[in-house]
Amino acid sequence: MRAFLSASGRLVLRVLRGVGAYALLAGRLLIATPRMDGREWLRTVSIAGVDALPLCLVTAALTGALVVIQTGFYVESYGVTSLVGWGAGYALFHEFAPLIASLALSGRVGAGQASDIAGLRAGEQLPALEALGVDIDRALLAPRFWAIAASVVVLAVIADVVALSASLLVAVGLLGVPPGAFLASVHASLRVADAVPGIVKAAAFGLALGACSLRAGLAAPAEARGVGAAARRSLVATLTAILALDMALTGLL
């Protein structure tokens, strides 16, 4: 009983410490945002957005193909070819394109940022900047946070388009659905508003990705081993946050 209470207490303290750390980070980021360094923002957009584009394209294409292969099974069983476009479009816009793209980016962008910040701490560059009077919140953290969030939203929109195009190709090649019928099904049953839930989710995933990666980098031990640990912690925290947000937002949107 005592051991159970002790373990429960430790868990509660750990959760509270985590919540407090994220609240503090959010406060620092909000204060620093109006005067953040624009060049660092652009540099991070180039890393988190442009450099991650190939990964996003490949992931989106595979996701689009996957969705049609699975939809196709039911289409064949029930003979409802006219619904393939709707099924693929709905599943991709509402769920799969933002989710799978964000999960893939958590490895490429999130782990990269976490290890970069941890590396700066391990190499004592971060304390050196602070000693020289540089506000690292304005110079480093806020620009990177907003750059990651913006990049994920833009990449999710691109992922929507690429995934739907891949769906079309697989539907035509594998299921023998005429391209016109696929596009007519998309046009008839999906509106531009159907893309909104996915974009809102992508924005939330992007914010979570930025916050988790920066927090993991800042919390890592200031030593060489901390760099790898920061990447691992960022991955697990981002994964959990994305899936929890997905559940919460699906109910709301």
Partner 1 sequence: MTRALDLPDAAPRPRALALAAAAAGALLAGRVDRAELVTQVRELCLRTIPVVLLALAFIGVVFEEHAAHEARRALVSLDQAGPMFFELSVREIAPAIAGIVLAARVGSGIAAEVGWMAQSEQVDALRLFGRDLAAELYAPRIAAGMLASMLAAPLGIAAVGLAGGFWAQAFSGGHLAAFVSLRLVTAHDWALLVAKSAASGFAVPVAALHCGLALGGTPDGVARSTAAGVVRGTLWVLAADVAIGATLWWIP
Q: Is 65 in the site for partner 1 (CB under 8 A)?
A: yes
Under the criterion CB under 8 A, does residue 46 sit at the interface with partner 1? Answer: no
Query: How crowded is residue 160: how many other Cβ atoms within 10 Å of its Cβ?
Result: 24
Among 63, 81, 151, 185, binds partner 1 (CB under 8 A): 63
CB 251 to partner 1: min, Å? 6
The residue behind tokens 């394209």 is: 57
158: contact with partner 1 by CB under 8 A: no
Residue closest to 74 by CA, chosen among 59, 92, 62, 86: 86
DSSP assignment letter at 223: S
Q: Interface residues for partner 1 in 211-240 (CB under 8 A)?
A: 224-225, 227-232, 235-236, 239-240
Q: Which of 30, 128, 174, 183 binds partner 1 (CB under 8 A)?
A: 174
**Phi, psi (degrees; rounded to nearest 5) at 150:** -65, -40
Dist. CA 223–CA 79, nearest whole Å: 60
Question: Closest CB to partner 1 among 59 and 185?
Answer: 59
Place of tokens 């081993």: 225
Q: Which two tokens stand for residue 136?
A: 């690292």
Of positions 111, 159, 204, 218, contacts partner 1 by CB under 8 A = 111
Work out which of 12, 53, 74, 127 binds partner 1, going by CB under 8 A: 74
202 is an interface residue for partner 1 by CB under 8 A: no
Position 45 contacts partner 1 (CB under 8 A): no
115: contact with partner 1 by CB under 8 A: yes
Q: Does 57 bind partner 1 (CB under 8 A)?
A: no
3-class secondary structure per residue, 76-114: HHHCCHHHHHHHHHHHHHHHHHHHHHHHHHHHHHHHHHH
Options 28, 32, 72, 211; binder of partner 1; rule CB under 8 A: 72
CA–CA distances in Å: residue 121 to residues 21, 67, 205, 236, 240? 17, 42, 26, 21, 25
Nearer to partner 1, 36 or 118 (CB): 118
* Contact between 51 and partner 1 per CB under 8 A: no
Contact status: 49 vs partner 1 (CB under 8 A): no
How many whole angstroms separate alpha carbon 161 and alpha carbon 52? 16
Site size toward partner 1 (CB under 8 A) is 46
Per CB under 8 A, does 11 bind partner 1? no
What is the spatial distance between Cα 244 and Cα 212, in angstroms, rounded to a whole number?
13
Q: Which two tokens stand for residue 196?
A: 């909104």
Residue 74 or 187 with smaller CB distance to partner 1: 74
Q: Which C-beta is closer to partner 1: that of 44 or that of 106?
A: 106
